[in-house]
Copies of this chain bind each other. A is one copy, B any other.
Amino acid sequence: MRHCPVEDRLGIEDLAIAYCTAVDTIGDIDGVCALFADDAVYDLTTLGLGEVRGRKGIADFFAGAFPTMAHNAHALSNFAIVSYAGDTASARAYVNAISQGTDGSEMALRARYYFDVARGGAGWLITRLGMEFLIPPA
């Protein structure tokens, strides 16, 4: 695998963390969408929600999802570059999340995120985000 320079590694890790921050801010749809490429795939198959396609689709998804969320905390760790090709890369990270719904529900999650990213004009963007459970949901 081609070596990932430190600046890119940290830039991609920043993007993964920014995704968690945006989701945990709750309500800032533009903030979430700004992290994804125009034709990004947001793969929620693991959650039984299929693949959400494109920045517009992601905006629509969060327009529906944010109003159901009361509090989120997505702690990201174990970040690793999986492959690097200069202007594209794949990375992996763990998430340890708690989500509280406006209906009083609470979901705890231990999972792995898979990020495909591409260098955009202003920095790295997510082109695909997938997830698999580390601990099966209760």
Contact = CB atoms under 8 A, between A and B. Distances in A.
Sorting the interface of chain A by its residue count into under 10, 10 to 19, 20 to 34 or 35 or more gives: 20 to 34
A23 to B, nearest CB: 11
Nearest to A99: B135
A105 interface: no
A80 interface: yes
A66 interface: no
Given A6-B6, A80-B18, A98-B110, A136 B71 contact: yes
A46 interface: no
A96 B9 CA distance: 24
A98 B110 CA distance: 9
A94 B96 CA distance: 11
Contacts of A75: 75, 77-78, 94, 96, 110
